[in-house]
Amino acid sequence: MEIKAEIIHNDSMAKGYFKLGLACAVPEVRPGQFVMLRVSDGLDPLLRRPFGIYRTLGQTRGRTLGTRGSSSKSKGIEVLYRVVGKGTAILSGKRPGETLGVLGPLGNGFPDRAEGSNPVLVAGGMGIAPLYLLARRLGEGTLLFGARSKAETFLLKDFRGLGLKIKTATEDGSAGIKGLVTGLLENELTPESIVYACGPVGMLKAAAAISGKAGARCLVSLERSMACGIGVCLGCAVRAKAHKEEKENRFYKMVCSDGPVFPGEEIDWDLL
């Protein structure tokens, strides 16, 4: 059920990048889940937009979004976004006190950490947003961050002090090593590693392949355009690798309801 959430803040982090805080009671959020936001009360744009939940704000008790009855809940949520089109441009102009339609939390997030595993978080650009809540709950491990240039490394600010070892790769060499973040990953893995990755499809494909060669588990968070967020419209379908018992031409999964988090080996990357 969609609710109206009041905007707490909509702060500019850098040119085109914003941090949006919403006062909406939500049940316990699993890292990797998302919300659908309606950015306009009019017909343009008509559809909601998906945004990964960056973090939750405070705790209270009472009636919770998505449930019936009383339970522990967060006072609000925060999302990070970059202005890339009409919807996010409208969103960037919203002010504290205005309201947005919110549906969520939705999807299946990252599973609980396996005992004895070594967490390695891999983020490409804005793919870092769904990993903050995970990093805070893990409290240890390694974060590998890839960006075009040093100008994007401001996204790491909130991650410092969480107990993670942070390494950076930039395409122009202005921060960290010069190259792709997957180059860092090749030197970090052991069979005890578990990789949590979010970012461009090419990065996720490479992360899954590198993890597989190292005998490490890889979990990827996919980002797709979607209209409903609950598996009805089928607009976010991705081809998964068919098992023997499945009819290959029917083996699809919905990013919104089956994901957005999937084992890397389940995705047919060549058809994504």
* Residue 111, domain member (yes or no): no
In the sheet where 34-38 sits, what is the strand order? Answer: 49-52, 34-38, 99-106, 3-14, 17-23, 70-82, 55-63
Domain boundary among the residues 106, 133, 160 is at 106
Q: What is the CA 98 to chain-centroid distance, rounded?
A: 25
Helix (H, G, I), strand (E, B) or coil at 77: strand
CA distance 219 to 236: 18
- pLDDT recorded at residue 234: 87
Contact by Cβ (8 Å): 152, 127: no
Asked whether the whole model's pTM tops 0.85, one would answer yes
Tell me, yes or no, whether 259 and 131 share the same domain: yes
Tell me, yes or no, whether 180 and 231 share the same domain: yes
- Cα 48 to Cα 32, 42, 191, 201, 238: the distances in Å are 18, 12, 40, 23, 20
Domain boundary among the residues 60, 77, 106 is at 106
Helix (H, G, I), strand (E, B) or coil at 145: strand
Q: What is the CA 226 to chain-centroid distance, rounded?
A: 14
CATH number of the domain residue 65 falls in:
2.40.30.10
Q: What is the pLDDT along the chain (272 residues), one digit of tens a residue?
A: 788 999 999 999 999 999 999 998 877 899 999 999 998 777 777 688 899 999 999 854 433 444 444 445 568 999 999 999 999 999 999 999 999 999 989 999 999 888 888 999 999 999 999 999 999 999 899 999 999 999 999 999 999 989 999 999 999 999 999 999 999 999 999 999 999 999 999 999 999 999 999 999 999 999 988 888 888 888 899 988 866 555 554 588 999 999 999 999 999 998 88
Helix (H, G, I), strand (E, B) or coil at 150: helix
Domain coverage including residue 72: 3-106
Amino acid sitting at position 155? L
- pLDDT recorded at residue 248: 54
Tell me, yes or no, whether 142 and 81 share the same domain: no
